[in-house]
């Protein structure tokens, strides 16, 4: 052990987006010695890109709103696949989390009465999203960041965790390297909170940043945790499609929330044919599939998208409510959105599935491990509503931080380490330096993105999924031989090699979960099983992945049954 | 403005290395329509120089990670289109200055995080009910647009040339303090910090920071000058001091 720099904490939180920061704040507030470890600089996590807002039934704008309606919207939006208890806690607690953020200094846009303003979003019955123009995520992360650093949390930036450390069946720490020097580091901890975000970089067209390499999903799975609902991958309906350099960059749903219209190349508001009641503000799965279909059937724009038009609104209003969209299109595509439509198409955005947790505490199925945010599963089921992620981060970040701090308190002493595990991991991580192969991790990354986009994308078939699954063993072998150049100092090629190990593992999980579910539901569409099994068998089970003896296991677990009084809420107006 | 066509050849001259062994290396790439400088750098990384160090995250000008100097100008690489620069000559890309160099295009910006820790955080009154109006916070929201790209810190001569890091916080943190001081619910007083520790009076209002801000924050006019006035009011106006003493107001 002496050869590694070692830090000792009660709780370490991996990932410094909204969920990780909120977890660390809570853990530290409860008296646990807490560290926050992140791959980037603090404040650059993916939360910073969240635009539209945070869903919370504050009822500041639409007085009729309440947690029950938010709960119902979330259950229906998730196509009955979500964990009812998580959805209940989320709907009940998100208003308090929003107000708390305000008390910590977040400056939300205001109503004329001087309260937090709220805007409309897809699938939400009422105007519900607390927001700051279209940069809500930045406001959230900066507020949490400043709250956190003044509360005594130790932050370790630009540190990649490569494996969780286990002893006697319990997670006891984490092993990683400093990105700057390439040197290894050990974090001993009584409890570990996973808050690493998503998996988007395994797809070719995605709104996700380089950090989204499925780390938390993969580390937890390898450590013995279970992953649920991994077939549910959200394609956001509106990403930029042109010019090529910007393909996939997110165009906020707030454009539609503020009145933006979707039209095909014939000028038709095509949502009339898919969801005439909610039109542009239908749920993301529906809108993405509608756009896909329009393009497929020859009614797309020159660059393979459809039009999103807000130019009928007053120019000053657009610049005030959607400032970063205005600049994004002006700067990157020469398009003035106050006078011209935007060309948009679906982009991989979010993974609903993730680490299976106890709703109240965020505890995973392995002792000592907790999870929150995008890398956890259950909250969003088959499809996430816009705005429900930022609130999810705060509600379950707080709960996981509390859960981890309590676990650390009740499971006092630091336990031992398996030195052999550390040695083995170190060898695995360093192996690429010895390779003389011609291919690099970058080559394989592009290959994986094509494989996933073409076979495990927005529309799936059993044959395509089997094609992908058949490729993975050879792919893994190839990755073991991939070559990196240079030294260990801030070497992105080397970093990508291990990120690829994680991505490949989770890519296989996604493909297997998608092959298993023989129906179409929410974000999971099977062309060979186009019907939703409403009220049937598939509505009663969640997919569940495990990892044993170096192999992915895929099965089904019964979905927790919603209590009658909550079911009555959902059924009342469904 | 003419659009770059896919396949056009462009040379990028990138600073490589660490410590004393630094050199500019030329990379030739075939650009695609609509590329920004970051696209080219990532393409070079993926196809020619896999160990080329560079920070980036969102690629949409929202995170402020990919700050660099492109042809000598402080820019976000994700926002700098090849269409907007002269690509008949090699495009020179260097890391930001004002901070210790790490490797290639990466600089050590940790100092900024240390400065931030010294700023008194948001301090509302215990019983504040948080009713306030859009007009009260338009200015504060301008400051809170900051994405911490540190280009203002990079270009500020107090840091870049005079290396006054120990007694000057830099434009980024005047923006941060202004966002706190002008928040209608805040009750803390940061004037002593501004005067004694953050060195606000070292700023001689050359507005270099304002010119490079990718978020168009009017750093000098809206943040720094009002903060200087605030310090002066507090320090040198006995009448205001008395009023504050009596009323307990800020």
Q: Is the dihedral of CA A88, A90, A93, A94 positive or negative?
A: negative
pLDDT category at B239 given cuts 50, 70, 90 is confident
ipTM of this complex:
0.95
Indicate whether A541 belongs to any domain. no
Catalytic residue among A46, A256, A488, A517: A256
Residues A104 and A125 placed together within one structural domain of the fold:
yes
Both A432 and A400 in a single domain?
A: no
Answer yes or no: do A47 and A157 share one domain.
yes
Q: C-alpha A77: how far from its chain's center? A: 16
**Considering only CB atoms, which chain B residues are within 8 Å of A446?**
46
In a domain, A564, yes or no: no
Query: Is residue A251 assigned to a domain?
Result: yes
Please tell me the predicted confidence (pLDDT) of residue B6: 83
Closest residue in A to B146 (Cα) is A138
In a shared domain, residues A274 and A152: no
The answer on A391 and A262 residing in a single domain is no
Are A376 and A293 in the same domain?
no
Q: Which of A41, A96, A336 to mutate to test the interface with B (most CBs of B within 10 A)?
A: A41
Say yes or no: A221 and A278 in one domain: no
A44 and B6: CB-CB below 8 Å?
no
| Owning domain of residue A298 | 236-346
Domains (range + CATH), chain B = 9-107 (3.10.20.30), 110-247 (1.10.1060.10)
CATH assignment at residue A333: 3.90.700.10
Looking at residue A222, the DSSP 8-state letter turns out to be H
Cβ neighbours around A573 below 10 Å, total: 9
Q: Is the pLDDT of residue B245 over 90?
A: no
Residues A405 and A475 placed together within one structural domain of the fold: no
Say how far apart CA A73 and CA A66 lie, in whole Å.
Answer: 11
**Residue A358 placed within a domain:** yes
- Closest chain B residue by Cα to residue A320: B138
* One domain, residues A221 and A244: no
- Compare all CA atoms of chain A with the CA of B214 and give the residue at the minimum distance: A327
Please give the pLDDT value at position A479.
Answer: 93
Contact criterion met (CB below 8 Å) for B149 and B107: no
- pLDDT, tens digit, for every residue of B157-206? 999 999 999 999 999 999 999 999 999 999 999 999 999 999 999 999 99
Question: What residues form DSSP beta bridges with A343?
Answer: A307
Per-residue pLDDT of chain A (574 residues; tens, 9 = 90+): 447 899 999 999 999 999 999 999 999 999 999 999 999 999 999 999 998 999 999 999 999 999 999 999 999 999 999 999 999 999 999 999 999 999 999 999 999 999 999 999 999 999 999 999 999 999 999 999 999 999 999 999 999 999 999 998 999 999 999 999 999 999 999 999 999 999 999 999 999 999 999 999 999 999 999 999 999 999 999 999 988 888 999 999 999 999 999 999 999 999 999 999 999 999 999 999 999 999 999 999 999 999 999 999 999 999 999 998 999 999 889 999 999 999 999 999 999 999 999 999 999 999 999 999 999 999 999 999 999 999 999 999 999 999 999 999 999 776 778 889 999 999 999 999 998 888 999 999 999 999 999 999 999 999 999 999 999 999 999 998 899 999 999 999 999 999 999 999 999 999 999 999 999 999 999 999 999 999 999 999 999 999 999 999 999 999 999 999 999 999 986 5
φ, ψ of residue A450 in degrees (nearest 5): -65, -45
> What pLDDT is recorded for position B4?
78
Would residue A561 count as lying in a domain?
A: no
Specify the 3-state DSSP secondary structure of A252. coil
Look at residue B247 in the predicted model and tell me its pLDDT: 75
Which residue stretches of A304-365 are H helix? 315-321, 323-333
Instruction: Supply A15's token pair.
Output: 């990932």
Task: Output the pLDDT for position A2.
Answer: 46
**First-to-last C-alpha distance (Å) of chain A:** 58
Separation of alpha carbons B50 and A440, rounded Å = 8
Residues of chain B found within 8 Å of residue A58, distances taken between Cβ atoms:
none
Q: Is residue A392 one of the residues assigned to a domain?
A: yes
| Domain-located, residue A296 | yes
Residues 25-54 of B with CB under 8 A from A: 32-36, 39, 45-47, 50-54
pLDDT at A72: 98
Residues A30, A144: one domain? yes
Which residue, among B1, B51, B117, would best test binding to A if mutated, counting the most A CBs under 10 Å from its CB? B51
Question: B145 in contact with A at a CB cutoff of 8 Å?
Answer: yes
Considering only the beta carbons, identify the residue of B51, B130, B140 that sits closest to A491. Answer: B51
pLDDT of residue B140: 97
Same domain, A299 and A436: no
Residues of A in contact with B109 (CB under 8 A): 41
Q: What CATH code is carried by the domain that includes residue A170?
A: 3.50.50.60
How far is Cα B27 from Cα B44, in angstroms, rounded to an integer? 7
Residue B2, pLDDT score: 62
The pairing of beta strand A129-130 with beta strand A54-55: antiparallel
Which residues of B fall within a CB distance of 8 Å from A157?
Answer: 110, 113
Q: What is the pLDDT of residue A574?
A: 55
User: What are the backbone angles phi and psi of residue A509, rounded to the nearest 5°?
Assistant: -60, -45
How many folded domains does chain A comprise?
A: 3
The pLDDT confidence band at residue B67, using thresholds 50, 70 and 90, is very high
Is residue A177 one of the residues assigned to a domain? yes
CATH number of the CATH domain containing A445: 1.20.58.100
Same domain, A116 and A212: yes
């Amino acid at each position: 052990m002496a050869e590694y720099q070692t830090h000792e904490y009660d709780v370490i939180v991996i990932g410094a987006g909204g969920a990780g920061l909120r977890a660390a704040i809570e853990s530290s507030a409860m008296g646990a010695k807490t560290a926050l470890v992140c791959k980037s600089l603090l404040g650059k996590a993916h939360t910073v890109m969240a635009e539209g807002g945070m869903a919370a039934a504050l009822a500041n704008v639409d007085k009729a709103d309440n947690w029950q309606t938010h709960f119902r919207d979330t259950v229906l939006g998730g196509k009955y696949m979500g964990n009812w208890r998580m959805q209940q806690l989320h709907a009940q607690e998100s208003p308090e989390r929003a107000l708390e953020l305000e008390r910590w200094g977040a400056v939300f846009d205001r109503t004329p009465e001087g309260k937090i303003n709220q805007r409309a979003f897809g699938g939400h019955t009422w105007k519900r999203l607390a927001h700051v123009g279209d940069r809500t995520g930045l406001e959230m992360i900066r507020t949490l960041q400043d709250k956190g650093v003044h509360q005594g949390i130790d932050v370790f930036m630009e540190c990649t965790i490569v494996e969780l450390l286990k002893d006697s069946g319990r997670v006891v720490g984490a092993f990683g390297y400093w990105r700057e020097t390439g040197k290894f580091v050990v974090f001993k901890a009584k409890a570990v909170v996973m808050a690493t975000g998503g998996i988007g970089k395994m797809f070719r067209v995605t709104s996700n940043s380089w950090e989204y390499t499925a780390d938390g999903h993969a580390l937890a799975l390898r450590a013995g945790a279970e992953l649920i609902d991994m077939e549910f991958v959200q394609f956001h309906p509106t990403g930029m499609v042109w010019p090529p350099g910007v393909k996939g960059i997110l165009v906020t749903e707030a454009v539609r929330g503020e009145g933006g219209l979707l039209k095909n190349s014939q000028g038709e508001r095509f949502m009339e044919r898919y969801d005439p009641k909610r039109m542009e503000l239908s749920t993301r799965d529906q809108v993405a599939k509608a756009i896909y279909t329009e393009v497929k059937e020859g009614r797309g724009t020159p660059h393979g998208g459809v039009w999103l038009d807000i130019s009928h609104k007053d120019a000053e209003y657009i610049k005030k409510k959607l400032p970063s969209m205005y600049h994004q299109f002006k700067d990157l595509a020469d398009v003035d959105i106050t006078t011209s439509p935007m060309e948009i198409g679906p982009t991989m955005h979010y993974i609903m599935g993730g680490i299976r947790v106890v709703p109240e505490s965020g505890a995973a199925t392995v002792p000592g491990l907790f999870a929150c945010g995008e890398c956890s599963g259950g909250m969003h089921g088959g499809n996430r509503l816009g705005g429900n992620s930022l609130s999810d981060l705060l509600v379950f970040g707080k709960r996981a931080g509390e859960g981890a701090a309590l676990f650390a308190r009740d499971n006092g002493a630091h336990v031992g380490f398996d030195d052999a595990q550390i040695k083995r991991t170190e060898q695995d991580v360093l192996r690429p330096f010895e390779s003389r192969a011609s291919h690099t991790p970058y080559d394989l990354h592009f290959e994986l993105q094509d494989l996933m986009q073409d076979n495990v994308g927005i529309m799936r078939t059993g044959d395509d999924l089997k094609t992908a699954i058949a490729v993975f063993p050879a792919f893994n072998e190839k990755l073991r031989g991939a070559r990196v150049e240079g030294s260990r100092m801030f070497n992105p090629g080397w970093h990508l090699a291990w990120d690829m190990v994680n991505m490949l593992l989770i890519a296989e999980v996604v493909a297997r979960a998608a092959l298993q579910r023989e129906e179409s539901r929410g974000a999971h569409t099977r062309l060979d099983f186009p019907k939703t099994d409403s009220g049937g068998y598939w509505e009663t089970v969640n997919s569940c992945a495990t990892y044993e003896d170096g192999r992915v296991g895929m099965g089904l677990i019964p979905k927790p049954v919603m209590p009658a009084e909550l079911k009555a809420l959902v059924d009342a107006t469904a | 403005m003419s659009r770059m066509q896919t396949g056009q050849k462009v040379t990028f001259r990138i600073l490589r290395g660490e410590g004393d062994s630094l050199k500019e290396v030329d990379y030739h790439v075939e650009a695609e329509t609509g590329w920004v400088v970051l696209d080219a750098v990532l393409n070079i990384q993926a196809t020619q120089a896999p160990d080329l160090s560079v920070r980036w995250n969102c690629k949409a000008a929202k995170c402020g990670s990919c700050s660099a100097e492109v042809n000598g100008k402080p820019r976000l690489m994700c926002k700098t289109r090849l269409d907007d620069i002269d690509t008949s000559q090699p495009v020179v890309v260097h890391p930001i200055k004002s901070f210790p160099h790490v490797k290639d295009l990466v600089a050590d910006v940790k100092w900024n995080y240390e400065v931030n820790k010294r700023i008194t955080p948001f301090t509302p009154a215990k019983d504040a009910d948080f009713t306030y109006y859009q007009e009260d916070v338009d200015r504060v929201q301008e400051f809170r647009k900051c994405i911490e790209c540190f280009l203002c810190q990079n270009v500020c001569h107090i840091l870049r040339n005079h290396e006054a890091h120990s007694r000057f916080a830099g434009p980024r943190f005047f923006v941060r303090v202004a966002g706190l001081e002008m928040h209608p619910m805040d009750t803390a007083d940061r004037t002593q910090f501004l005067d004694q520790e953050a060195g606000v009076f070292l700023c001689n209002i050359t507005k270099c920071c304002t010119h490079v801000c990718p978020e168009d924050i009017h750093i000098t006019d809206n943040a720094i000058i009002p903060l200087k006035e605030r310090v002066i009011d507090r320090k040198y106006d006995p009448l205001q001091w008395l009023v504050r003493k009596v009323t307990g107001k800020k």
